[in-house]
Every structure is written in C-alpha cells, then in structure tokens.
Structure 1
Amino acid sequence: MRTSPNKLLATVFGAVYLLVGVLGFFVTSGIGFFASEGANLIVFAVNPLHNIIHLLIGAALLSAGLKSVAASKAVNTTVGGVYLLVGIVGLFLIGSSLNIIALNGADNVLHLASAVVLLGVGLSQDKVPAVNTAHRMA
C-alpha cells in the first residue's frame, strides 16, 4: 500500500509548524502579544500570537495527517488557502500597526511557498476515482 501524499505532507508540515511554534516562545520573551514587530526566529519574525497560530496550525495538520486521507486532503487545502491569503495580505501589512502577527518579508515568502505546496498536493493528489453510474444502473 502506498503512502498518501496528503497524509505525509500534513504530518511533516504539522510537526514542523508545531516545532516552530514551540521554538518561537524561546525568542519572544518580552515581546508584546500583538506586537507588530517581533523577535527573529532565524529570519522569520514572531510574536506570542504568531507562535500560538503556528501551534494551532501544526496541531491541525499533524492530527489530520495521522487520521485519514480525507482529513489530510481537507486540512491541507484549507490551510493552503488560508496561507495564500495571509501571504498576499501580509505584503501590505509590513510596517503597519495592523500587523498583529509580526509578519516580515521572509514570513510572507514562507507562507506563500507553504500555500503553493499545501494547495498543490491537497488539490491534485489522492483523487477518488469516479464511479461509473451508468454501469451501476444496469
């Protein structure tokens, strides 16, 4: 039996986003919860709210990846769509007081890249074969 690309991707991305969420708390001590400029985790800016979002997304992806192909496909597609939106909107938030998750250019690139991968796999892999209804009616 082959491994589902959606389950594999959800599991790997989920574990990575959970790890990033946890590691983010090591660098955000003293940073305001909604601070528009965060602390750097490698080249990515994070604040405590951003860390919590990473934990929630990581948990959703990992849980779906460990559950089923259908759940993985749905969560990959949903998170991919949200990341596409965050990546685009994030381009306009940098330097703004509305930037409550402390996005920077590297975050936007990562969110857009994650969106492409999650949407690409979520929408193209693990297709359910069409049922021939004409054959069933006979």
Structure 2
Amino acid sequence: MTHHSTAGRVKVAGLQPAQVLAGLVGLVFLALGVLGFVRTGFGDFAGDQHATLLGFALNPLHNVVHLVFGVLGLVMASTSGLARLYGWLLFLGYGLVALWGLALAGVFATNPVSGLGNPLALNTNDNWLHLGLAAVGLLIAVLPARRKLVTEPVVEQPVAERPIDERPVADQRASIRDPQAQMDPTTQEMPTQRSGVHPNDRIESMDPTVQPRPVQPVDPAVEQHRARRGH
C-alpha cells in the first residue's frame, strides 16, 4: 500500500522587493540617460565641460553609462537572483566612480587617477549622487526576500503486504493442524507404503542343506500308559 503524507518547505514567493527596486532604479537611469542627451547632444563625447541637469554635470559618455545601467536594471529585475546581482554591480561600479570623483575633488592627499583626467565630467554634486547610488545597490543586494511555506505531498515507499489466504476457513484450520498440508503439492513426497514386515523384524532363512527331522507317529497305547502312570 502506498502512503501519502505532506511536508512543508520554505521557498521564495512571488515578486521580490529586490526585483521591484532594481526595476525602479533601471527606469530612473534610463530617464537620466535620455534627458542627458537632450541637454548635451552627442558632440565632445568625453569632454569635461558640458551642460548640467539638476546641478549634476553631464557629458555624452556619462549619459551612455546611465543608459547601460538602466537597461541592466530592467533586464535583471526579471528574477530575484539577477536583481541581487544587479545590486552588487551597482554598488561596486558607482562606489568606484564615487572614489574617482573624490580623488578629483582633492579629498585624498594624492590623486591616483590624475593621469586619466575627468572623462565623465564629474563635479561635487555627482560625487554625492554616486555615493547614494552605491548605497542603493548595496540595499538591493542584501534586501531580504519574501518567503512562504509550501506544502507538498510526499509519496512514501509502498509497504509489502502479506498475501490473503482465500481458502475456506475449514481448509485453513486443517493446514494449521497438519503442517504437511501447507507444503507445495509439487514438492510433497508420497507417503511410504508399509509392508507387512517391520524393518526391525528378524527374518531367518532356512538352510537348504539341513534336512528336517522326521516326525514319528504316536502310538495310542503308549500314550494311555503314560497317562495312567502320571495319575
């Protein structure tokens, strides 16, 4: 017989907060990229003197970076795992850009990227924005997932059952009293027929060379005489 039971396990349920946040950040990046190209155009691609948008300096290369992160955010928001990966990419990428901007602003004693110039046209406002974006990326990466308890049926191994004896009750009782009756008729041995002579009986054979002693006839007169003497 097969037994069915239920077992519960916890699994990720539905749309996750990390996916929602990654998708929203992606939309914001796409909007910034499109509006940035409206302000800067496509000339002087990596120049450091361009127009600003809401106080943040921009150039075409900077706009391309915004568009790339926007597309990644929308694509990787499709699953919980990809959304968390997008959070780590956002954290590492904009964390490095924020450090680059701080070095250009003279926050550090030495500027390790002085030879690279300022291809993204970064200013002080950009540095604060990029620090905030790195923090949002870290939040997406470590945001707890919503989970639920899912109950699933578990099929256990079938248990072997003893065969049901369909013989009549009288035959079953007879089998219990006589164990030989439960034997397979194909393997049962026929009972040994007993002969008239017991195996332990001693059978003496007569020697043909020995002649039997002749029997003498009895005289009736002699028998009467013996009878009188006996009395």
Question: TM-score, structure 1 length as denominator?
Answer: 0.82
Q: Which has the higher helix share?
A: 1
Identity %: 36
Give the alignment partner of residue 131 of structure 2, picking from 112, 119, 123.
112
Q: 1:30 to 1:59 in 2, by over 3 A?
A: closer
Say how many residue pairs are matched: 127
SS at match of 1:110: helix
For 2:118, give the aligned amino acid.
N
Distance 1:5 1:26, change over 3 A: same
Distance in 2, matches of 1:51 and 1:72, equals: 22
Shift of 1:102: 0.5
In the TM superposition, what are the counterparts of 1:8-47 in structure 2 within 5 Å?
A: 8-29=20-41, 31-47=43-59
Q: What aligned pairs does 1:1-138 form with structure 2 within 5 A after superposition?
A: 1=13, 3-29=15-41, 31-65=43-77, 67-94=78-105, 98-126=117-145
Q: What are the Cα deviations for residues 73-115 of structure 1, in whole angstroms up to 9, with x where unaligned?
A: 0011111111111111111225967110101111111110111
In 1, distance between residues paired with 2:81 and 2:96?
Answer: 23
- Find the residue that maps to 2:126 and give its secondary structure: helix
Contact kept in structure 1, 2:39 and 2:52, CA below 8 Å: yes
Bigger Rg, which one: 2
State the distance in 2 between where 1:3 and 1:118 align.
Answer: 18
CA RMSD of aligned residues (A): 2.2
Indicate if the aligned counterparts of 1:31 and 1:39 stay in contact, CA closer than 8 A. no
Q: Per-residue displacement from partner, 1:30-75 (whole Å, max 9, x unpaired)?
A: 751011122101111110000011000110011111x100000001
- Which residue does 1:133 correspond to in 2? none
**Contact in 1 for aligned 2:43/2:60 (Cα 8 Å):** yes
Aligned residues of 2:17 and 2:143 also touching (Cα < 8 A): no
More strand by share: 2
What stretches of structure 1 of length at least 5 have no aligned partner?
A: 129-138
Tell me by how many angstroms 1:15 deviates.
0.3
